[in-house]
Amino acid sequence: MMDHIYPDEERRFFTDRERHLESLALSRSLLADGIRRHLALSGFRRVGKTVILKEYLRRHLLEGGDGQTVVAYLDIPRLALTPESFAVQYVGSILYWMVEGGAGGRMEPYWDPVFQLTTVGGWGDRRLSDYMVRFHQGLAKERPDHHMLLEMALNWPEIWAQALDRRVLVMLDEFPEILALNNYPQVESVVALFRAVLQSQWRVCYVVAGSALSLMERIFLRADSPLFVHFQLETVGPFGRNDSDDLAGQRLASVGPAVAPEVLAAVYQVTRGHPFYIYAVTMRVLEMAALLHRPLTPQTVQEAFVLETLSTTGRIHNLCRYVLEGALQRTRGETMPKAILRALAREGQSSTLTRLAQALKRPSGAIRQVLNWLMEVDLVEQRADKSYVFRDPVLHLWVAYYYAGLELTGVPHQRVLDQLVAELMEKYQQATTELGIAKESQVPELLRHFGGQQVDGELFGFPGEVRLPAFQRVEPYRSGDGQVEVDALCQGDESWAVEIKWRGRLAGVKELQRLLAAASTLAARPWFISRAGFTPEAEALARQERMMISDQAQVDRLARMVRRD
């Protein structure tokens, strides 16, 4: 089964992500002790969330498990999203992992009702058999109770675990897709139903993943959501430079025994560490080397990026098209969202509400509403200075050329390709410079560039000057019991505890208090970075505690001062 859901190529090129794997392992070990720690992994599409889940599952099976906990992996988009079919397939998928443990073939046979009844009967436990019979009797009714069927399906892992004295770790990939069940009146809110079931369980722990960033935040971080505070939300971001070099080096190893550092630097420059973009660009480089006998140089990498982005057969091209079309289907109307995206793409960098309204000759209120829709579907984000920008600079670049009608249907003449490379790389540099280095996955790289510089304390939220210590170690930290965790513990001339929140909302007092407590335990100086900035109350707390805080604009300025060229 692992070969079917986790092919050998994916396994061979798995890179880093040890922090997230350790987090999953902690949830499993705590579950064995009767403590449930639910996780939610959020990140851009194809950034590696699914691979993390599958790699953890593979390692769990290789280790032979703990003899007590079953780990089940379900890809929600693969399940039918009508209440009856979803309930049957959810039960069958969980049942597959209970019986086969990943060692068998396909799980579809377990979606058959007769097969389910027969399989459960094989355990010889009356409680399990009665539960499964009631479930299928409910399915057989002329007007099935959708709410009851979903509740019984979601509660099946707990019923089984109680009957056989086991534990179950359920991993649900692309969890937000389950919201499609809200279209059925009897269901009302599937998230509320899921929360009700979750709260009644004590032998089941959940790990969910989702690519809809804003929707994941609304489900797990908003106070009015039923799942608020029930899950720990972790962001899966692009690779930093070292991990990008590792993956690109593995991908390009067949061209030569050693890949030149400038080639790896070029891959990181064009991909910004996104794993799928690294895969697409390096595959194109391999094709160009084998078929066109192109040398392994930075120029070839840039040409590969242009072809992948602009060619109708390009992997990046097709991913961008899929992301754009899928996002626009979730907005209200398409004409004005497309017009705003086209205008924003023409800017080459961020744009203000006023500038967009003027360019489109529409009232600013109407433009703001559409921008809010575009932020909800993760195409656009608002910066601390109130300007708007594409969340993904590669998508920004692709939209600019796509809406201009430029698509390559083959490999152009070298002179034309050279012109496209020069033009596209200039535009791309504009977009990526505008975004700045201050992304959650890149801040650790910035910290490693500290080395005794004196900078304006305003960059950290208070007057005076701040000396940037030289750090010998910059790594994520989590205590053995999971109670103390920071995004980066920096150790060297001084110790700093750094928390990074790269979301679209202001950081509040409680978030700062958690970092203050962690920093006190670690005897470290706290620095909180929030892309969107801070609430007035949080700023007052920071001044009172002389706590360092920075928003995106401040970190961008700091990066320009200390970053190596």
Of 15-24, 160-169, 173-182, 274-283, minimum mean pLDDT range: 15-24
Domain 443-562: which CATH class? Answer: alpha beta
Q: Which long-range contacts (CB under 8 A, 24 or more apart) does 162-165 make?
A: 162/203, 163/123, 163/125, 163/127, 163/128, 164/123, 164/125
Burial per residue of 386-400, b for 16 or more beta-carbon CB atoms within 10 angstroms, e otherwise: ebbbbbbbbbbbbbb
Query: What's the pLDDT tens digit per position in 220-269?
Result: 988 899 999 899 888 888 887 778 888 999 999 887 667 888 898 889 88
What secondary structure does DSSP assign to 128-161, as a single string?
A: HHHHHHHHHHHHHSSS--HHHHHHHHHHHHHHHH
CB atoms within 10 A of CB 225: 17
In whole angstroms, what is the distance from residue 381 CA to residue 392 CA? 9
- Residue bearing the bigger pLDDT, 553 or 329: 329
pLDDT above 60 for 403: yes
Architecture category of domain 316-435 in CATH: Orthogonal Bundle (1.10)
The angle at the Cα of 220, spanning 510 to 44, to the nearest 5 degrees, equals 110
Strand order, beta sheet including 167-173: 69-75, 167-173, 204-210, 38-42, 231-235
pLDDT above 70 for 179: yes
Percent of the chain with pLDDT over 70: 92
What are residue 484's phi and psi, to 5 degrees? -120, 125
Counting every residue, how long is the chain? 565
CA 44 to chain centre: 5
Q: The whole model's pTM is what?
A: 0.77
In whole angstroms, what is the distance from residue 2 CA to residue 96 CA? 13
CATH of 2-235, one of 3.30.43.10, 3.40.30.10, 3.30.200.20, 3.40.50.300: 3.40.50.300
Query: What's the pLDDT tens digit per position in 421-431?
Result: 777 777 776 65
Between the CA of residue 518 and those of 43, 440, 496, what are the distances in Å? 25, 19, 11
> Of all helices (H) and strands (E), which one includes residue 318?
helix 315-329
Torsion sign, CA atoms 96, 99, 105, 110 = negative
Please give the average per-residue pLDDT across 44-57, as a whole number: 91
Q: Where are the domains of the chain?
A: 2-235, 241-310, 316-435, 443-562
Between the CA of residue 413 and those of 298, 408, 428, what are the distances in Å? 19, 11, 22
Torsion sign, CA atoms 260, 261, 265, 268 = positive
In whole angstroms, what is the distance from residue 160 CA to residue 122 CA? 13
Please give the average per-residue pLDDT across 524-539, as a whole number: 88
Residues 6+ apart with CB under 8 A from 536: none
CB atoms within 10 A of CB 338: 16
